[in-house]
Amino acid sequence: MNAPASATVPNDVLALEQRLANYLPDDQVALVREAYFTGARAHAGQTRKSGEPYITHPVAVAAILAELGMDAQTIIAAILHDTLEDTPLPRAEIESAFGATVAELVDGVTKLDKVKFRNQQDAAAESFRKMLLAMARDLRVILIKLADRLHNMRTLGSMAPASRRRIARETLDIYAPIAQRLGMNKFRSELQDLGFRALYPDRYRIIVERIKGVLGNRREAMGKIESALAAKLVAEHVPSRVMSRVKTPYSTYSKMHAEHKTFNQVMDVYGFRVVVEETMQCYHALGAIHSLFKPLDARFRDFIAIPKANGYQSLHTVLFGPFGAPIEIQIRTEEMDQAAERGVAAHWVYKTSREPANAAQTRAREWIASMVETQAREASSAEFLENVKVDLFPDEVYLFSPKGKIFSLPRNATALDYAYFVHTDVGNHAVAARVDKKLAPLRTRLNSGETVEIITAPSAQPNPQWLEWVVSARARVAIRNNLKHLQHEDAVELGHRMLDRALEAQGVTLDAIPLKTLDRYLADAKFKRLEDLLADIALGNRMPDQVAIALAEGAAHSGKPVSRAREKVLITGSERGVLSFGQCCHPVPGDEIFGHLSQGKGVVVHRMDCPNAADYRKAPERMIAMAWDREVTGDYRVRLRIVVENKPGVLATIAAAIAEAESNIENVEYQDRDLNTSTLMFTIEVFDRKHLEDVMNRVRRASVVHDVHRYPV
């Protein structure tokens, strides 16, 4: 593996070694050189789109990581990160020369190009999923990947326009937010600006020019403010350095876009950072600065006492400036400043589970562990990637449990999101919340600083509407999994009833089917268990009559099947995971009904007098004899066609009559209108036919109503 004595070392590698020599021992720097020669041989003859030898890219990635002070294993893995994917170099050779850890890091960064996917999106999603699992084992995987992406973005100009746009969009959607989530603000900022420049080159150029113009005009004012701040801190004996902060092109553009502000409105603020030596000096500096310029009410944030989810710590305050514009100030220690710029990579010494990590590393591992738990529940890589995007919010809300524990949730999180962050079981059985000791519904949006307590009930369980109330990936995945489980249970139970009725028509019972016959049928149909067959029947993918005939042939009974009147399948309305109600006729308890098996949708319940009943009867094998059970639960939609006088206040009168009958209105639409009358179509919820009659009678008694009837009649 050693390089030949005549081998020359390029300048970029010499520069890398020089930087590494500042903090790594000589033997490790020598190992990095050996890794370079290994990578150069593996990539021999390969070039980048720009025409440069390919090895220049991994060396540049290693140089970016060396700027962060990363360890030798990370630097070596960076130099070799594309060898497994793009060259014949075997993993065993990497492991033999540089150790199992380096081989694991390289494998973690490698894409899944050898696996065939339906499309580019699926490949990217599965590649990201694999990378996340590698991140969970070793955080350095994502640092290599981010450095790889950063260098690719710096050299994006040689790519085709379509590729530039695709890579830029992926960078803005995934990699820049991940850098932010890991507290690596320097990486995040450059990735965003490079992505913005590639995606919208004209907008980028215009904003860069305007920022330069604004800074030129304000140089004198900013100098005076900076001098005043520095002088005040000296007078207070607070050792510090003060520097002005400039908005980046992307942050300027995104703020204009998100808040619908003009460029001048976004830039009408002076930004400064004050860096001190110790934490207590942050608060001393804050008091001194507030005595110099008056603070704006409710614009102070203490991220030192309550750090952001990515470990970021700083004091933020906004002041009334002397030149008519607000002054935004961040106050932090040198250590906090390093952590804010480098995040998990700050003061990097790779930690084992027995050694304490820095705050950013600890929080990053907690976040990654949460993502790993999420991906384990998601069958679809694309769906998982979408959930990760949702979870990569730039802002968080900070909430307290009644015992004082702090929870960091995504912006716009609800009480239901919070419940799932406390524990999955708490979320699954949540019924309400107490926010600052006041009762609140689960869909309530939460604000930083609130104390939240979740009220649970053993009988409570998720429903599909909950998916509309949550914003976090954790809550969404937990709800979806619970609903899938409930749907499967409902499907098995309903499928059992349907097969029982079909077998009764054949003169046998399920218990009478020989076990060998049942096992053979399940094996032929590729089902592992009877439960899977029953669920498939309920979901409309297999006809119960056909299954019953096949099973009855092997049953121990004499003679031909006895033709007998089929008993109806009774429903309670609680089987909504696999049972739906026809939108064409809106059946309610008390109506005579039948079921129609629709493949994939399961059983759709219709009224006997449904306008489409004749069409459904053309496929009798899909018809299910059904009736309502004695105990029926839930609300049922029904439509009312109401003809009223055409005058003001009519809608309120009808709505009041419906509300008095304890019915909810889901939708109202005007169907027809002339000079004297209007025809309104109301969609309401009722318990059963009796409740429907009560509603109609109350509406009929209103003086403005000419006619009311159920639709369709």
- Single out the residue of 710, 699, 464, 463 nearest to residue 590, CA to CA: 710
DSSP label at 414? B
For helices 415-422 and 473-505, angle between their N-to-C axes, nearest 10 degrees = 90
Q: Is 559 left (phi over 0), alpha (psi -120 to 50) or beta?
A: left
Euclidean distance between CA atoms 296 and 303, whole angstroms? 17
Is residue 86 part of the annotated active site? The answer reads: yes
**Which residue(s) pair with 669 in the sheet?**
681
Under 8 Å between Cβ of 522 and 530: yes
Is residue 268 part of the annotated active site? The answer reads: no
- Can you give the C-alpha Rg of the chain in angstroms? 33
Q: Which tokens hold the place of 280?
A: 């207590």
- Single out the residue of 429, 479, 372, 378 nearest to residue 139, CA to CA: 372
Euclidean distance between CA atoms 329 and 286, whole angstroms? 9
**Which residue(s) pair with 53 in the sheet?**
47
Under 8 Å between Cβ of 549 and 621: no
Under 8 Å between Cβ of 633 and 701: no
Q: Which of 86, 335, 531, 694 is catalytic?
A: 86
Any idea what the Cα angle at residue 33 is, between residues 102 and 69, rounded to 5°? 65
Query: 90-112 as b/e, with b when 16 or more CB fall inside 10 Å?
Result: eeebbbebbeebbbbbbbbbbbb
**Which residue(s) pair with 628 in the sheet?**
571
- Judged by DSSP in three states, 364 sits in helix
Q: Which of 85, 383, 396, 531 is catalytic?
A: 85
Displacement of CA 637 from its chain's centroid (Å):
32
Residue numbers annotated as active site: 85-86
